[in-house]
Amino acid sequence: MAALLSLSLSFLHRLGGYVQLTKPRLSVVVVFSAVMGAMIAGLADWGSFVWVMLGGYAVTGSANAINQVLEREVDALMERTKRRPLVVGLLLPGEGVAFSVLLLGVGVWLLWRLNWQAAALAAFAWVVYGFIYTPLKRVGPIAVPVGAIPGALPPVIGYWAVQPELNPTVMALFGLQFVWQFAHFWVLAWLLAEDYARGGFRLLPFPRTHSRANRFAILISVLALPVVSLAIWPWVPWNLGLVASLLGLGLALVAVYLLERPSVRSMRRLFLGLTLYLTFLYLGVWLFP
């Protein structure tokens, strides 16, 4: 009985390790934007909703898993990642690769059930994130615009799963989330500067000792959101233009206030503000068509 209990606990422990490979919190955020892209496109049936949600999570989780395989030695150097399953030996690298490939196959197949465009775009995002963005993180700030591409594709994938067409709305969703990525990357890099330095990650636009220059870059990236929102207004539905502009202006005012008093607390608040911006952007556009 004791042996059976021990075996069950070991199985659950390893299963938890596989779940950790998918980075659940990050994956849920990505899937949310994909699902909202589908809802904005007019997703109406529960079957398609499930395929977008599960397919999106599978591809995202696969990308996060291969990221951890490739960065396992770097993860061992950083405080926030040194307890990941591949670092502590709970799972072997080969198991991580096999799990990632399996998830990718399942995710692409689920999205292909809706249309091949969404599946192909998801596979493209997986390649860019796993094999271009991931190694570039140790090269320099060029990793941020590269990483912003797969980071901005989830709403497009969700939208194309319903309406595979290139129109002003889907271009605006990509553009807004692409611009949003810069502030998101840089605020996170500011908060994790010491840990990133241990791992050799170089995501901030200036050396981390240049605090003022980095804060200015973050402010410019946030101010770009209302500028882009106002610029696209003539070509997008009124609800998207209005919601994006109001949220962008509100976030810009918050950023100006918080960046005048730089601290870990103010940066965390700005990071929360960025998360709320994206959340309310999609909910606002969907709820007020």
Contact 230, 218 (CB under 8 A): no
Do 138 and 245 fall within a single domain? Answer: no
What is the span of the domain harbouring residue 64? 14-164
Considering the domain architecture, whether residues 93 and 170 belong to the same structural domain is answered as no
**173 and 200 housed in the same domain:** yes
The answer to whether residue 224 sits within a structural domain is: yes
The residue with greater pLDDT, 176 or 15, is: 176
Tell me whether residue 1 is in a domain: no
Q: Which amino acid is at 229?
A: S
Indicate the residue among 108, 137, 164 that finishes a domain.
164
Rounded CA gap, 33 and 157, in Å?
9
Mean pLDDT (whole number) for 261-279: 94
Using one digit for the tens of pLDDT, what is the confidence trace for 180-211? Answer: 999 999 999 999 999 999 999 999 999 988 98
Q: In this predicted model, what pLDDT tens digit does every residue of 107-137 receive, in sequence order?
A: 999 999 999 999 999 999 999 999 999 999 9
pLDDT surpassing 50 at residue 3: no
Shared domain check, 253 and 113:
no
Identify the CATH number of the domain in which residue 85 sits.
1.10.357.140
Instruction: For the full predicted model, state whether its pTM sits above 0.85.
Output: yes
Residues 19-77 have pLDDT tens digits of 999 999 999 999 999 999 999 999 988 889 999 999 999 999 999 999 999 999 999 99
What's the pLDDT at 261? Answer: 82
Q: Is the pLDDT of residue 260 over 90?
A: no
Specify the number of domains making up the chain: 2
136 shares its domain with 196 = no
| Cα–Cα distances in angstroms (integers) from residue 159 to residues 59, 145, 167, 228, 242, in the given order | 16, 22, 10, 20, 20
**For residue 10, what pLDDT is reported?**
65
- Domain C-terminal end among 164, 187, 211: 164
Tokens 């069950």 correspond to 8
Tell me, yes or no, whether 143 and 180 share the same domain: no
Domain shared by 154 and 237, yes or no:
no
pLDDT at 2 over 90: no
Instruction: Tell me if 6 is assigned to some domain.
Output: no
pLDDT at 13 over 80: no
